[in-house]
Amino acid sequence: MVFVNTTSQNNTQIVRAQEEHLPAISELAGVIWRACYPGIITSEQIDYMLARMYSLDVLRDEIRSQGIRYDLLLVDGKPAGFASYGPTSESGVIKLHKLYLLAEMHGRGLGSRLLQQVEHEVRAGAGCRLILSVNKRNARAIAAYQRNGFVTADSVVTDIGGGFVMDDYIMAKELAG
C-alpha cells in the first residue's frame, strides 16, 4: 500500500488505490449505491450503472489508460469510502468522478476529508478547477459539496443507454494555489 496521507484520526487513512484495491472499491460501490440511491434512482438503474461503472475491467481501464486516480479511505484498516478523479479536455480542470462513503460513516467529516485530499492532489498537479456531476435529487450530496465550497455551474441530462438518463447538476470549485 502506498500511503497518501493520514488524517488527524489515528484509525483513518487515505491511500492511493492500486489495482489490487479495485475489487474492494467495486464491492464498496455496490454496498454504498444500494444503501444511498433508492428513492433517487430506480433499483434497475442502480444495477445498470454499477455494472457499467464498477466492473473490474472498467476500473482497470480508468487507471491504466484514462489517467483516473482512485483514493481509498480506510477506517480501522477497512475500506469505508473512495474518490476518483482525473483530467478533462480543458487545461487545469480536473473532474471528480466519484466520491462515496459507507452510510454509517456519514456525518463524521470523512467525506470532507476525502474531498480535501482530492483538492490537495489536484493543486499539486497544477489543477486550478475541480468539477463534478451530482444527481439533482441527491440533496445530501449537493449540500455536502456546497459546504465544501462548490457552486452549481450547469444542469445536464445525459442519456446513458439502457433506457436510463443521468439528470445532474454540474458543480465546480475554483482552487487557489
Please give the pLDDT value at position 149.
Answer: 96
Q: Where are the domains of the chain?
A: 2-174
Please give the pLDDT value at position 6.
Answer: 41
Residue whose C-alpha cell is 469510502: 81
Residue 147 dihedral angles phi and psi, to the nearest 5°: -60, -25
Mark the ranges of the chain whose per-residue pLDDT is less than 70.
Answer: 1-10, 177
Q: Which residues pair with 159 in a beta bridge?
A: 165
Please give the pLDDT value at position 126.
Answer: 87
Assigned CATH topology for domain 2-174: Aminopeptidase (3.40.630)
pTM to 2 decimal places? 0.90
Element housing 74 (H / E): strand 69-75
- What would the grid cell of residue 37 be? 440511491
Q: Which residues pair with 134 in a beta bridge?
A: 169
Please give the pLDDT value at position 7.
Answer: 40
103-135 confidence digits (pLDDT tens)? 999 999 999 999 999 999 999 998 999 999 999
Contact 73, 118 (CB under 8 A): no
Please give the pLDDT value at position 62.
Answer: 96
Please give the pLDDT value at position 4.
Answer: 40
